[in-house]
Homo-oligomer: A and B are copies of this chain.
Amino acid sequence: MELIFLGTTAAIPTSSRGHSAIAIKYGDEIILWDCGEGTQRQLITSKTSYMRINKIFITHFHGDHLLGLPGLIQTMAFAGRSEDLHIYAPHGIKDQMDRILGIGEYTLSFKIRIHEIFHGYEVEGKGYKIKAIRVEHSIPCFGLVFEEKKGRVFLVEKAKALGIKPGPMYKKLQRGEKVKIGERWIYPEDVLGEKKKGIKIVYSSDTRPCENVIRSCENSILIHDSTFDHDLLENAIENYHSTCVEAANVAREGKARKLFLTHISPRYKTVEKLLSQAREVFRNVEVAEDLMRIKLKSKDFER
């Protein structure tokens, strides 16, 4: 799977950073997390097919996370899309969509399915689930947790001890079915250990450092609000954002695998200060850049 940063600026774009959007390529599917203005162009530039997007999550209703939606939908329609498009967003999305769909003249060629998210809301996909967690911003805002669905570890030694031979019986048990050895039934629970770890990505969206993100980000790729460097802590507090050091603290406390700083204020022409301040707290940190691609493999998350 692949994680693609499409837009990494805060509020106002720069020549190198567009408005917030993250694409997650998993299997045949592309999932979009936020859709700031210009997202369709970033998708095209990064050769990420907008026609394969079936789920779009909007974390909150600030324009820099939302205003790419009308254009992306109209371009999908222009290109003749017919599949349903699912939009997941906070309460109020129905009214927002009425207005979004009412701008400009075009013919909508597909159905839009609207889903209101709340803290704990989960969407199941093919091989993954995505959960919404409430974060702390100036308006209702949700972080997002992507988790690969993984089976449980197969305890080979235990299976052998029970007299089961490798082959079809192993598969049955792994699928959750019982098998018979002589007169005795063997149940999946007898040979399955703890749940395997899979790919996990946590996106804080716009937020102050908060417990819900800390509690969700263990062993994850954490993408965290880092609008300001830590000398500008007051600005971060006032605007309900985080500094790079606060983001690093969340990653450290929550035991994330890796941290990407994003939502970078346009005031930063270079990212060295953000990076060096964060690195003092959490080593495995990078600053997200537009069009940056991160390839992720399940086995890297198994530890």
Spell out A's residues near B (CB within 8 Å): 11-15, 18-19, 37-38, 40-41, 44-45, 60-64, 66-68, 70-71, 74-75, 78-79, 95-96, 98-100, 102-106, 139
A18 touches B37 (CB 8 A): no
Q: Report B-chain residues with C-beta under 8 Å of the C-beta of A64.
A: 71
Q: SS class of chain A's interface: helix, strand, loop or mixed?
A: loop
5 more A-B contacts (CB under 8 A) besides A15-B44, A62-B104, A67-B71? Answer: A37-B37, A37-B71, A38-B38, A38-B41, A99-B103
Contact in complex: B139, A105 (CB < 8 Å): yes
- Is there an interface contact between B74 and A44, defined as CB atoms closer than 8 Å? no
Using Cβ atoms and an 8 Å threshold, which residues of chain B touch A44? 12-15
Q: Are B68 and A74 in contact (CB under 8 A)?
A: no
Given A12-B75, A75-B12, A78-B12, do A104 and B66 touch, yes or no (CB 8 Å)?
A: yes
- Docked Cα-Cα span, A100 to B66, in Å, equals 12
Task: Name the contact of A63 in the complex, choosing from B38, B74, B96 (C-beta under 8 A).
Answer: B74
Which residue of chain B is the closest to A77 with respect to CB atoms?
A: B63
Most buried by B among A40, A41, A45: A41
Given known pairs A37-B40, A41-B38, the reply for A67 and B103 (CB within 8 Å) is: yes
Contacts of A103 in B (CB 8 A): 63, 66-67, 70, 96, 99-100, 103
**Chain B residues near A60 (CB-CB < 8 A):** 105
* A211: min CB distance to chain B, Å: 24
Which of A45, A67, A78: most chain B Cβ within 10 A?
Answer: A67
